[in-house]
């Protein structure tokens, strides 16, 4: 369910955060369903519980999950969060397009690339 890429330059906890955000936004993890416990996930990924803890903390702060002492952590997703996430993604995309424009990549190529991805099967 969660895969850690040690070659990735980003810290582990960030990879975990992003992965869960994805799973929640895409509806794979349903609202109020329980996440793996901090200790279990740590064991499964063979990393330190503190690292998981930190990821969960951040996810809770961002509103993706909520944690209850003694019970566990649960998905807490809503529409607002989705549109927030969409806005965030759009901003990144616009920066990328601007960069493409900046290095003289023709608009047609960008458009083609967008089409290819949307038509294609890539679901990441």
Residues in contact with a second copy by CB under 8 A are 6-7, 11, 22, 25-26, 61, 66, 68-71, 74, 76, 82, 85-86, 89-90, 92-105, 107, 109-111, 113-115, 117-118, 122-124
- Minimum CB distance to a second copy, residue 57 (Å): 10
Do 44 and 36 form a contact (C-beta atoms < 8 A)?
Answer: yes
Q: Which does 30 bind (CB under 5 to 8 A by kind): a second copy, DNA, none?
A: none
Pick from 55, 56, 47: which is nearest to 14 by CA?
Answer: 55
φ, ψ at 66 (rounded to 5°): -135, 145
Do 99 and 93 form a contact (C-beta atoms < 8 A)?
Answer: no
Q: With CB under 7 A as the contact rule, which of the stretches 52-60, 88-96, 97-105, 116-124 interacts with DNA?
A: 52-60
């Amino acid at each position: 369910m969660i895969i850690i890429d040690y070659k990735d330059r980003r810290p582990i906890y960030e990879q975990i955060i992003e992965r869960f955000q994805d799973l929640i936004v895409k509806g794979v993890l349903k609202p109020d369903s329980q996440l793996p416990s901090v200790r279990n996930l740590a064991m499964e990924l063979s990393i330190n519980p503190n690292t998981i803890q930190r990821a969960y903390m951040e996810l809770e702060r961002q509103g993706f999950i909520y944690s209850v002492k003694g019970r566990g952590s649960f998905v807490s997703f809503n529409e607002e969060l989705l549109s927030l996430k969409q806005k965030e993604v759009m901003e990144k995309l616009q920066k990328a397009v601007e960069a493409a424009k900046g290095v003289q990549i023709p608009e047609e190529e960008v458009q083609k690339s967008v089409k290819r991805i949307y038509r294609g099967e890539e679901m990441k």
